[in-house]
A and B are shown apart, each in its own frame.
Chain A
Protein backbone atom coordinates (compact mmCIF):
# COMPACT_ATOMS: atom_id res chain seq x y z
CA UNK A 1 0.00 0.00 0.00
CA UNK A 2 2.89 2.34 0.71
CA UNK A 3 3.72 2.69 -2.97
CA UNK A 4 0.32 4.35 -3.40
CA UNK A 5 1.31 7.38 -1.31
CA UNK A 6 3.18 9.25 -4.06
CA UNK A 7 0.32 8.51 -6.44
CA UNK A 8 -2.21 9.90 -3.99
CA UNK A 9 -0.11 13.01 -3.40
CA UNK A 10 0.21 13.47 -7.14
CA UNK A 11 -3.53 13.10 -7.69
CA UNK A 12 -4.31 15.59 -4.90
CA UNK A 13 -1.90 18.07 -6.40
CA UNK A 14 -3.44 17.56 -9.84
CA UNK A 15 -6.92 18.24 -8.48
CA UNK A 16 -5.77 21.50 -6.89
CA UNK A 17 -3.96 22.60 -10.03
CA UNK A 18 -6.95 21.66 -12.19
CA UNK A 19 -9.21 23.80 -10.00
CA UNK A 20 -6.69 26.60 -10.34
CA UNK A 21 -6.88 26.37 -14.13
CA UNK A 22 -10.62 26.98 -14.13
CA UNK A 23 -10.23 30.24 -12.26
CA UNK A 24 -9.60 33.57 -13.85
CA UNK A 25 -6.80 35.38 -12.01
CA UNK A 26 -8.20 38.67 -13.26
CA UNK A 27 -11.30 38.19 -11.15
CA UNK A 28 -10.25 39.53 -7.80
CA UNK A 29 -13.02 39.01 -5.22
CA UNK A 30 -14.32 42.36 -4.03
CA UNK A 31 -14.25 43.18 -0.32
CA UNK A 32 -17.28 45.41 -0.95
CA UNK A 33 -19.67 42.52 -1.44
CA UNK A 34 -21.96 42.48 1.60
CA UNK A 35 -21.21 46.11 2.43
CA UNK A 36 -23.32 49.21 1.80
CA UNK A 37 -22.69 50.74 -1.60
CA UNK A 38 -20.14 53.60 -1.30
CA UNK A 39 -21.95 56.92 -1.30
CA UNK A 40 -21.64 59.33 -4.22
CA UNK A 41 -23.31 62.27 -5.89
CA UNK A 42 -22.62 62.68 -9.58
CA UNK A 43 -24.11 64.70 -12.39
CA UNK A 44 -26.28 62.90 -14.86
CA UNK A 45 -24.84 62.12 -18.25
CA UNK A 46 -27.90 63.34 -20.12
CA UNK A 47 -28.25 66.51 -18.04
CA UNK A 48 -25.14 67.61 -16.09
CA UNK A 49 -27.20 70.13 -14.12
CA UNK A 50 -29.14 67.32 -12.48
CA UNK A 51 -27.54 65.15 -9.85
CA UNK A 52 -27.81 61.50 -9.07
CA UNK A 53 -27.08 60.33 -5.54
CA UNK A 54 -26.37 56.83 -4.30
CA UNK A 55 -29.33 57.02 -1.88
CA UNK A 56 -31.55 56.83 -4.97
CA UNK A 57 -30.37 53.24 -5.33
CA UNK A 58 -32.19 52.24 -2.14
CA UNK A 59 -35.70 50.83 -2.03
CA UNK A 60 -35.49 48.33 -4.86
CA UNK A 61 -33.09 45.77 -6.23
CA UNK A 62 -30.97 47.36 -8.93
CA UNK A 63 -27.96 46.84 -11.15
CA UNK A 64 -25.14 49.32 -11.51
CA UNK A 65 -23.10 48.82 -14.64
CA UNK A 66 -19.72 50.53 -15.06
CA UNK A 67 -19.20 51.41 -18.69
CA UNK A 68 -17.29 53.70 -21.03
CA UNK A 69 -17.41 54.47 -24.71
CA UNK A 70 -13.71 53.57 -25.03
CA UNK A 71 -14.26 50.11 -23.57
CA UNK A 72 -14.47 47.37 -26.18
CA UNK A 73 -15.78 44.69 -23.84
CA UNK A 74 -18.68 47.03 -23.01
CA UNK A 75 -19.78 46.75 -26.60
CA UNK A 76 -19.82 42.98 -26.21
CA UNK A 77 -22.30 43.09 -23.36
CA UNK A 78 -24.38 45.91 -24.75
CA UNK A 79 -26.86 43.69 -26.59
CA UNK A 80 -27.40 41.64 -23.42
CA UNK A 81 -28.00 44.80 -21.37
CA UNK A 82 -30.45 46.12 -23.95
CA UNK A 83 -32.37 42.85 -23.85
CA UNK A 84 -32.42 42.98 -20.05
CA UNK A 85 -33.68 46.57 -20.06
CA UNK A 86 -36.39 45.55 -22.53
CA UNK A 87 -37.78 43.08 -20.02
CA UNK A 88 -38.05 45.79 -17.37
CA UNK A 89 -37.67 43.40 -14.45
CA UNK A 90 -34.82 45.30 -12.80
CA UNK A 91 -33.59 48.90 -13.16
CA UNK A 92 -30.13 49.29 -14.65
CA UNK A 93 -27.99 52.30 -13.77
CA UNK A 94 -24.88 53.29 -15.68
CA UNK A 95 -21.69 54.66 -14.19
CA UNK A 96 -19.98 56.32 -17.13
CA UNK A 97 -16.39 55.76 -16.04
CA UNK A 98 -13.56 58.07 -17.13
CA UNK A 99 -15.35 58.96 -20.26
CA UNK A 100 -15.91 62.05 -22.32
CA UNK A 101 -19.50 63.23 -21.97
CA UNK A 102 -20.08 63.72 -25.70
CA UNK A 103 -18.53 60.34 -26.50
CA UNK A 104 -20.71 58.65 -23.90
CA UNK A 105 -23.90 60.27 -25.16
CA UNK A 106 -22.95 59.42 -28.74
CA UNK A 107 -22.45 55.78 -27.80
CA UNK A 108 -25.91 55.59 -26.21
CA UNK A 109 -27.49 57.27 -29.20
CA UNK A 110 -25.79 54.93 -31.66
CA UNK A 111 -26.16 51.63 -29.84
CA UNK A 112 -29.27 52.22 -27.75
CA UNK A 113 -29.65 53.16 -24.11
CA UNK A 114 -30.33 50.32 -21.64
CA UNK A 115 -29.93 52.56 -18.59
CA UNK A 116 -32.61 54.19 -16.49
CA UNK A 117 -30.03 56.84 -15.64
CA UNK A 118 -26.34 57.20 -16.44
CA UNK A 119 -24.05 59.46 -14.44
CA UNK A 120 -20.55 60.65 -15.21
CA UNK A 121 -17.46 59.84 -13.23
CA UNK A 122 -14.91 61.65 -15.41
CA UNK A 123 -11.88 61.28 -13.11
CA UNK A 124 -12.78 57.79 -11.87
CA UNK A 125 -12.94 58.83 -8.21
CA UNK A 126 -16.29 57.15 -7.58
CA UNK A 127 -15.07 54.13 -9.52
CA UNK A 128 -12.11 53.92 -7.15
CA UNK A 129 -14.40 53.95 -4.12
CA UNK A 130 -16.37 51.13 -5.69
CA UNK A 131 -13.17 49.15 -6.29
CA UNK A 132 -13.48 49.30 -10.06
CA UNK A 133 -10.33 48.10 -11.81
CA UNK A 134 -11.51 46.84 -15.16
CA UNK A 135 -14.48 48.01 -17.17
CA UNK A 136 -17.09 46.65 -17.61
CA UNK A 137 -18.15 45.70 -14.11
CA UNK A 138 -21.68 45.16 -12.85
CA UNK A 139 -22.87 45.38 -9.27
CA UNK A 140 -26.06 43.85 -7.91
CA UNK A 141 -27.49 46.08 -5.17
CA UNK A 142 -30.29 44.98 -2.86
CA UNK A 143 -33.22 46.97 -1.48
CA UNK A 144 -31.21 48.26 1.45
CA UNK A 145 -28.49 49.57 -0.83
CA UNK A 146 -26.03 46.80 0.00
CA UNK A 147 -23.78 45.39 -2.73
CA UNK A 148 -24.56 41.69 -3.05
CA UNK A 149 -22.58 40.65 -6.10
CA UNK A 150 -19.97 41.97 -8.46
CA UNK A 151 -19.60 40.77 -12.01
CA UNK A 152 -16.15 41.51 -13.42
CA UNK A 153 -16.01 41.60 -17.19
CA UNK A 154 -18.86 41.60 -19.69
CA UNK A 155 -22.31 40.32 -18.78
CA UNK A 156 -22.94 37.46 -21.17
CA UNK A 157 -26.21 35.63 -21.78
CA UNK A 158 -24.89 32.81 -19.54
CA UNK A 159 -23.92 35.11 -16.69
CA UNK A 160 -27.25 36.89 -16.88
CA UNK A 161 -29.40 33.75 -16.92
CA UNK A 162 -27.21 31.65 -14.66
CA UNK A 163 -26.09 34.11 -12.01
CA UNK A 164 -27.56 37.59 -12.12
CA UNK A 165 -31.26 36.91 -12.72
CA UNK A 166 -31.59 34.12 -10.11
CA UNK A 167 -29.87 36.36 -7.56
CA UNK A 168 -32.05 39.33 -8.48
CA UNK A 169 -35.22 37.26 -8.11
CA UNK A 170 -34.03 36.03 -4.73
CA UNK A 171 -33.20 39.57 -3.58
CA UNK A 172 -36.52 40.92 -4.83
CA UNK A 173 -38.27 38.40 -2.60
CA UNK A 174 -36.35 39.63 0.46
CA UNK A 175 -37.87 42.08 2.92
CA UNK A 176 -36.68 45.62 2.39
CA UNK A 177 -36.15 46.20 6.10
CA UNK A 178 -34.35 42.93 6.87
Chain B
Protein backbone atom coordinates (compact mmCIF):
# COMPACT_ATOMS: atom_id res chain seq x y z
CA UNK B 1 0.00 0.00 0.00
CA UNK B 2 2.76 2.39 0.96
CA UNK B 3 4.60 1.45 -2.20
CA UNK B 4 1.56 2.18 -4.29
CA UNK B 5 1.19 5.51 -2.58
CA UNK B 6 4.82 6.37 -3.22
CA UNK B 7 4.47 5.40 -6.83
CA UNK B 8 1.43 7.64 -7.12
CA UNK B 9 3.38 10.51 -5.57
CA UNK B 10 6.21 10.04 -8.04
CA UNK B 11 3.81 9.99 -10.97
CA UNK B 12 2.11 13.16 -9.71
CA UNK B 13 5.32 15.09 -9.41
CA UNK B 14 6.96 13.84 -12.55
CA UNK B 15 4.47 15.44 -14.91
CA UNK B 16 5.83 18.99 -14.53
CA UNK B 17 9.31 17.65 -15.21
CA UNK B 18 8.19 16.43 -18.58
CA UNK B 19 6.97 19.92 -19.47
CA UNK B 20 10.45 21.37 -19.14
CA UNK B 21 12.41 21.44 -22.35
CA UNK B 22 15.97 20.34 -22.05
CA UNK B 23 18.30 22.25 -24.30
CA UNK B 24 22.04 22.20 -24.52
CA UNK B 25 23.78 25.53 -24.74
CA UNK B 26 27.40 26.33 -25.45
CA UNK B 27 27.46 28.71 -22.51
CA UNK B 28 25.35 30.94 -20.28
CA UNK B 29 25.65 33.79 -22.78
CA UNK B 30 24.08 31.70 -25.54
CA UNK B 31 21.35 30.52 -23.21
CA UNK B 32 20.62 34.12 -22.25
CA UNK B 33 20.30 35.14 -25.89
CA UNK B 34 17.86 32.30 -26.49
CA UNK B 35 15.83 33.15 -23.39
CA UNK B 36 15.66 36.84 -24.32
CA UNK B 37 14.48 36.01 -27.81
CA UNK B 38 11.70 33.59 -26.99
CA UNK B 39 10.42 35.99 -24.36
CA UNK B 40 10.34 38.86 -26.85
CA UNK B 41 8.62 36.93 -29.63
CA UNK B 42 4.92 36.46 -29.76
CA UNK B 43 3.09 33.21 -30.31
CA UNK B 44 0.62 33.36 -33.18
CA UNK B 45 -1.71 30.77 -31.77
CA UNK B 46 -2.18 32.10 -28.23
CA UNK B 47 -1.69 35.69 -29.17
CA UNK B 48 -1.22 37.07 -25.69
CA UNK B 49 1.61 34.72 -24.87
CA UNK B 50 5.23 34.83 -25.81
CA UNK B 51 6.93 31.90 -27.48
CA UNK B 52 8.46 31.08 -24.12
CA UNK B 53 5.10 30.85 -22.34
CA UNK B 54 3.02 29.15 -24.96
CA UNK B 55 2.23 25.47 -24.96
CA UNK B 56 0.95 25.55 -28.51
CA UNK B 57 2.42 23.07 -30.92
CA UNK B 58 3.58 25.80 -33.27
CA UNK B 59 5.27 27.68 -30.43
CA UNK B 60 7.29 24.57 -29.64
CA UNK B 61 8.35 24.26 -33.27
CA UNK B 62 9.32 27.91 -33.39
CA UNK B 63 11.30 27.60 -30.15
CA UNK B 64 13.16 24.68 -31.70
CA UNK B 65 13.88 26.81 -34.74
CA UNK B 66 15.08 29.77 -32.66
CA UNK B 67 17.25 27.45 -30.59
CA UNK B 68 18.78 25.94 -33.70
CA UNK B 69 19.63 29.34 -35.14
CA UNK B 70 21.14 30.65 -31.91
CA UNK B 71 23.04 27.43 -31.45
CA UNK B 72 24.44 27.77 -34.97
CA UNK B 73 25.81 31.14 -33.97
CA UNK B 74 23.26 33.32 -35.75
CA UNK B 75 22.52 36.69 -34.20
CA UNK B 76 19.30 37.53 -32.39
CA UNK B 77 18.56 39.93 -35.22
CA UNK B 78 18.78 37.13 -37.80
CA UNK B 79 16.65 34.80 -35.72
CA UNK B 80 13.83 37.28 -35.27
CA UNK B 81 14.08 38.27 -38.94
CA UNK B 82 13.47 34.62 -39.82
CA UNK B 83 10.15 34.78 -38.01
CA UNK B 84 9.22 38.23 -39.30
CA UNK B 85 9.78 37.04 -42.89
CA UNK B 86 7.23 34.30 -42.34
CA UNK B 87 4.71 35.74 -39.92
CA UNK B 88 5.16 39.52 -40.17
CA UNK B 89 5.87 42.19 -37.59
CA UNK B 90 3.09 40.70 -35.51
CA UNK B 91 5.55 38.28 -33.90
CA UNK B 92 7.56 41.12 -32.43
CA UNK B 93 6.44 42.50 -29.09
CA UNK B 94 8.47 45.59 -30.01
CA UNK B 95 7.32 46.49 -33.51
CA UNK B 96 9.80 48.46 -35.66
CA UNK B 97 9.19 52.14 -36.30
CA UNK B 98 7.76 52.63 -39.79
CA UNK B 99 4.90 54.40 -41.52
CA UNK B 100 2.25 51.86 -40.47
CA UNK B 101 3.39 51.86 -36.86
CA UNK B 102 4.12 55.59 -36.60
CA UNK B 103 0.83 56.35 -34.85
CA UNK B 104 1.46 53.52 -32.43
CA UNK B 105 4.80 54.96 -31.40
CA UNK B 106 4.03 58.70 -31.55
CA UNK B 107 0.37 58.43 -30.49
CA UNK B 108 0.95 58.64 -26.73
CA UNK B 109 3.26 61.65 -27.20
CA UNK B 110 0.62 63.37 -29.34
CA UNK B 111 -2.02 62.71 -26.69
CA UNK B 112 0.25 64.14 -24.01
CA UNK B 113 0.97 67.26 -26.07
CA UNK B 114 -2.75 67.68 -26.77
CA UNK B 115 -3.61 67.39 -23.10
CA UNK B 116 -0.88 69.90 -22.17
CA UNK B 117 -2.20 72.34 -24.79
CA UNK B 118 -5.73 72.11 -23.41
CA UNK B 119 -4.50 72.49 -19.82
CA UNK B 120 -2.38 75.50 -20.80
CA UNK B 121 -5.32 77.11 -22.54
CA UNK B 122 -7.55 76.61 -19.48
CA UNK B 123 -4.89 78.01 -17.18
CA UNK B 124 -4.54 81.12 -19.32
CA UNK B 125 -8.31 81.67 -19.36
CA UNK B 126 -8.45 81.32 -15.62
CA UNK B 127 -5.56 83.73 -15.13
CA UNK B 128 -7.21 86.30 -17.36
CA UNK B 129 -10.45 86.40 -15.39
CA UNK B 130 -9.01 85.77 -11.94
CA UNK B 131 -8.22 89.38 -11.06
CA UNK B 132 -11.50 90.85 -12.22
CA UNK B 133 -14.40 91.17 -9.83
CA UNK B 134 -17.87 92.21 -10.86
CA UNK B 135 -18.54 95.79 -11.83
CA UNK B 136 -21.11 97.75 -9.82
CA UNK B 137 -23.59 97.33 -12.64
CA UNK B 138 -23.09 93.55 -12.77
CA UNK B 139 -23.40 93.25 -9.01
CA UNK B 140 -26.72 95.04 -9.09
CA UNK B 141 -27.99 92.62 -11.78
CA UNK B 142 -26.76 89.63 -9.79
CA UNK B 143 -28.58 90.83 -6.68
CA UNK B 144 -31.73 91.43 -8.66
CA UNK B 145 -31.58 87.86 -9.98
CA UNK B 146 -30.93 86.45 -6.52
CA UNK B 147 -33.91 88.32 -5.08
CA UNK B 148 -36.18 87.08 -7.84
CA UNK B 149 -35.15 83.47 -7.24
CA UNK B 150 -35.45 83.88 -3.47
CA UNK B 151 -39.10 84.98 -3.65
Contact = CB atoms under 8 A, between A and B. Distances in A.
B88 A128 contact: no
Given A98-B57, A124-B61, A131 B45 contact: no
Given A133-B44, A134-B44, A28 B90 contact: yes
Interface string A109-147: 000000000000001100011110110000000000000
A98 B57 CA distance: 10
A30 B88 CA distance: 6
B57 A128 contact: no
Nearest to B56: A133
A32 B88 CA distance: 8
B46 to A, nearest CB: 11
Contacts of A86: none
A29 interface: yes
Contact of A31 (B44, B58, B88): B88
A31 B47 contact: no
A26 interface: yes
B45 A32 contact: no
A128 B45 contact: no
Interface string B53-66: 00001100110010
Given A124-B61, A128-B61, A128-B62, A134 B45 contact: yes
A25 interface: yes
Contacts, number: 36
Interface residues of B, number: 15
B8 interface: no
Contacts of B89: 31
Nearest to A38: B86
B137 interface: no
A64 B135 CA distance: 83
Contact of A128 (B84, B86, B90): B86
Greatest chain B CB density within 10 A among A29, A98, A124, A131 is at: A131
Contacts of B44: 28, 133-134
Contacts of B62: 128
Contact of A29 (B45, B65, B88): B88
Given A128-B62, A130-B86, A134-B45, 10 more contacts: A25-B47, A28-B88, A31-B86, A124-B61, A128-B61, A128-B65, A129-B86, A133-B45, A133-B58, A133-B87
Nearest 5 pairs between A and B by C-beta?
A133-B44, A131-B86, A31-B88, A28-B90, A131-B87
Interface of A: 25-26, 28-32, 98, 123-124, 128-131, 133-134
14 contacts: A25-B47, A28-B44, A28-B88, A28-B90, A29-B90, A30-B87, A31-B86, A31-B88, A31-B89, A98-B57, A128-B61, A128-B62, A129-B86, A131-B88
